[in-house]
Amino acid sequence: MRLILADDATLIRTGIARLLADRGFEITAEVADAEALLHEVARNPPDAVVVDIRMPPTFTDEGLRAADQIRRNYPEVAVLVLSQHVEVEYAMRLLKDASTRVGYLLKDRVADIDAFVATLDHVTSGGSVLDPALVAELVAAPRDEDPLAVLTPREREVLQLVAEGRTDRGIAEALFVTRKTVEAHVRSIFSRLDLPAAATENRRVHAVLKFLAAPPSSGQNGRPLTTK
């Protein structure tokens, strides 16, 4: 598999490159900013890019914007975005359209090389991935009249794995149950939460994320803030 790495921290970038090279990945380019990333992708589109969110010059969301652009212009290139800490809004932005060939992970995850390689495989083969820490935060957020209260504990577990982007088969393996059981759980969850039932494996990530990230508030919040 051919990869481009984008991270301004040289130590991390070369570390990831070596780990992945060991696992048989071909690193076609290593870059330190979004501009160079876009240039390299245009020159020689890889199978996937791994990109850090915070990069020069402003160290805010350069990587995310580059990811958006790559996903628009090169839908066949999988994009895995790394972030020092998980941001629900960033994840929502990344997954807002089609949730295919895209992942959003805490940066630390790269050190668990087996899991990281599995994630890369999953994303390049068309899946989507959300960091478990992010999903856990969303699921655990205290709410009045918790909408998740209608779910059984088992269904909550399944929901969490769905949100992380796992396939039915992946969930089945993780929970040591059959795929049929997982499918039944998912159907039940979607009907109980009143989510669109026809969702494919990829679309359902977005649906669940949107459901979970809905602000625990009484709703829309007036006119936008303004400065004069």
Nearer to other proteins, 59 or 180 (CB): 59
Min CB(19)–other proteins separation in Å: 6
Whichever of 83 and 167 has its CB closer to other proteins, that residue is: 83
Instruction: Supply the minimum distance, in Å, between the C-beta of residue 48 and other proteins.
Output: 18
CB of 42 to other proteins, least distance (A): 27
Long-range contacts of range 7-14, CB-CB < 8 Å, 24 or more positions apart?
A: 7/32, 7/50, 7/51, 7/52, 7/55, 7/82, 8/32, 8/33, 8/52, 8/54, 8/55, 8/56, 9/52, 12/52, 12/107, 12/110
Of 64 and 151, the one with the shorter C-beta distance to other proteins is 64
User: Residues in the site for other proteins, rule: CB under 8 A?
Assistant: 9, 11-12, 15-16, 18-19, 22, 54, 59-61, 84-85, 87-89, 107-108, 110-113, 137-138, 140-144, 215-219, 221-228
Pick from 18, 26, 24: nearest CA to 2: 26
Question: What is the smallest separation between the CB atom of 101 and other proteins, expressed in angstroms?
Answer: 25
CA 37 – CA 22 distance, rounded (Å): 23
